[in-house]
Amino acid sequence: IKRDPNQPEFQEAAFTVLDTLKPVLEKHPEYVKNNILGSLVEPERAIQFRVPWQDDEGNFHINRGFRVQFNSAIGPYKGGLRLHPSVNLSIVKFLGFEQILKNSLTGLPIGGGKGGSDFNPKGKSDSEIMRFCQSFMTELQKFIGPDLDVPAGDIGVGGREIGYLFGQYKRLNGFQGGILTGKGLQYGGSLARTEATGFGLIYFLNALIKDQKDTLKGKTVKISGAGNVAIYALQKAQENGAKVVTVSDSNGYVYDPNGIDLATVKQIKEVERGRIKEYADKISTAEYHEGSVWDLDINYDIALPCATQNEINEDQAKLMVKDGAKYIAEGANMPSNTDAIAVYKQNDIIYGPAKAANAGGVAVSALEMSQNSERLSWTFDDVDKQLKDIMEDIYQKIADADAEYGLNKDYQAGANIAGFEKVAKAMLAQGLV
Ligand code: NDP
């Protein structure tokens, strides 16, 4: 890991995981002897490619595309594609690394990978998005396959982008349903995939809270983000009787003490593709503020960061403690930096880490792959029920690791250990590869 000093996000993710694995390594010296950790932190393959595309005015642009195929010990590489100007090799490697253990936790046969581009989809027309996606897939298609590597969405990649990516793949290789997940329902997508990460987050949170002899009902919740994960976390939290008082985007946040109105958020973000600021124009009880929602000083019980990595720092974690928050469950990947996590642990905030809490999306993606293989479509209730079972099972695996290794409710360590053990056993069985 030290070979990559210019990859801070990857280093942060990898060192954090390795720190928590010490008890497993003491129990299993064979993992050390066979240098399983050395293999784990080195991607099997990291692909970088040029993505040329033309804007509506005829100007030529060059972006950088990535796909990191991190680990295939337990199944084909699986993980999303991110379109955001911040995307670089460090970010894709951090996400791919986390994905290995997350996918293992789901109990499904999927390895870890991630990809994306530094293309900024904001403000682009539909045709520009389509041309970019077609160009991106023209290169990516050389490296993926239904039993090899199955990408999905992430920040900046939703149903529209998956459609354009799928169309281009099909044009070059013929219809192969299992090549991408998050597809439209008309061409092999799964019901409940759109809702999966947000719903899954709340199923996980419910299992965690129940184990503390507490309930989500009546709790005040802060959510960050207003994208795919945030919207469906909001919906499911409300269905469980919680009051969600914030949502945000990268410019600012809205605070609505009466509780955020789901239909208004969906209208702004999913239909109009607008900014969250517009919520305050439509709902009179809401206030809009520029800046981070984690600087808003109000009393609340539960934090659900659903925007992006490193959105919560040490001071913001301290504010969370002061404001009386008792639980944090991460919808986004690595939203809390290392210092923030230390604050949670020192102050007994119960912490549900991303790789467990947000695994619902990839879990339903794997169920989409199963449906594609079977050439069948399952009902919403069927998929949703399986999602709920998987999230409860993930919580149970973590709680079991917590008990086995005496971790004292350190669910971050529990998730890393439970995810790692399956991958390590598979790697050991397959020899030096
Ligand atoms: P979307 O693109 O749908 O939404 C992202 C949201 O986060 C937007 O509101 C966006 O605001 C905000 N955001 C993005 N970057 C920043 C930033 N630098 N600072 C503040 N806010 C920011 O993405 P998703 O909802 O799909 O993903 C959100 C998080 O969840 C990511 O960390 C992703 O990796 C993770 N995740 C997603 C899964 C999925 O199934 N979609 C599965 C598992 C994890 P703006 O519009 O201003 O950019």
Please tell me the predicted confidence (pLDDT) of residue 313: 98
Say if 48 falls within a structural domain.
Answer: yes
> Is it the case that residue 289 has pLDDT exceeding 90?
yes
Q: Which residue's alpha carbon is at the smallest distance from atom 35 of ligand 1?
A: 332
Instruction: Domain of residue 328: give its range.
Output: 194-352
Say if 160 falls within a structural domain.
Answer: yes
| Count: domains in the chain | 2
Q: Please tell me the distance between residue 264's alpha carbon and the centre of ligand 1 in angstroms.
A: 19
The helix-helix angle for 8-20 and 411-430 (nearest 10°) equals 90
Say if 89 falls within a structural domain.
Answer: yes
74-115 pLDDT, tens per residue?
999 999 999 999 999 999 999 999 999 999 999 999 999 999
Q: What is the CATH number of the domain that holds 218?
A: 3.40.50.720
Q: Do residues 138 and 284 share a domain?
A: no
For 4, other C-beta atoms within 10 Å of its C-beta total 14
Q: Do residues 273 and 325 share a domain?
A: yes
Say if 75 falls within a structural domain.
Answer: yes
Residue 300: which residues within 8 A CB-CB, separation 6 or more?
Answer: 220, 221, 222, 245, 323, 324, 325
Q: Please tell me the distance between residue 154's alpha carbon and the centre of ligand 1 in angstroms.
A: 7
What distance in Å separates the CA atoms of residue 121 and residue 89, rounded to the nearest whole number? Answer: 19
Q: Do residues 152 and 235 share a domain?
A: no
> Is it the case that residue 58 has pLDDT exceeding 90?
yes
Q: What is the CATH number of the domain that holds 89?
A: 3.40.50.10860
Chain position carrying tokens 């290995």: 100
Q: Average pLDDT for residues 19-26, to the nearest whole number?
A: 95
Q: Can you count the helices (H) and strands (E) in the chain? A: 17, 12
Q: Please tell me the distance between residue 405's alpha carbon and the centre of ligand 1 in angstroms.
A: 33
DSSP string, 268-284: IIIIS---THHHHHH-T
Please tell me the predicted confidence (pLDDT) of residue 432: 86
Say if 24 falls within a structural domain.
Answer: no
Q: pLDDT-derived band of residue 343, with 50, 70 and 90 as boundaries?
A: very high
What distance in Å separates the CA atoms of residue 306 and residue 186, rounded to the nearest whole number? Answer: 28
Q: pTM of the predicted model, to two decimals?
A: 0.95
Q: Do residues 92 and 203 share a domain?
A: no
Say if 369 falls within a structural domain.
Answer: no
What distance in Å separates the CA atoms of residue 202 and residue 232, rounded to the nearest whole number? Answer: 9
Tokens of 8: 């801070």
Q: From the alpha carbon of 226, which atom of ligand 1 is closest?
A: 9
Ligand 1 in reach of 307 Cβ (< 6 A): yes
Q: Average pLDDT for residues 291-300, to the nearest whole number?
A: 98
383-409 pLDDT, tens per residue?
999 999 999 999 999 999 999 999 999
Provide the pairing of β-strand 60-71 with 45-54.
Answer: antiparallel
Q: Do residues 150 and 268 share a domain?
A: no
Cβ atoms 353, 412 nearer than 8 A: yes
Provide the pairing of β-strand 302-305 with 327-329.
Answer: parallel
Q: What is the mean pLDDT of the chain?
A: 97
Chain position carrying tokens 């056993």: 425
DSSP string, 121-155: -TT--HHHHHHHHHHHHHHHTTT-BTTTEEEE-BT
Catalytic machinery residues: 114
Say if 15 falls within a structural domain.
Answer: no
Q: Do residues 209 and 310 share a domain?
A: yes
Say if 94 falls within a structural domain.
Answer: yes
230-274 pLDDT, tens per residue?
999 999 999 999 999 999 999 999 999 999 999 999 999 999 999
Q: DSSP letter at 157?
A: B
Percent of the chain residues past pLDDT 90, beyond the cut: 99
> Is it the case that residue 1 has pLDDT exceeding 90?
no
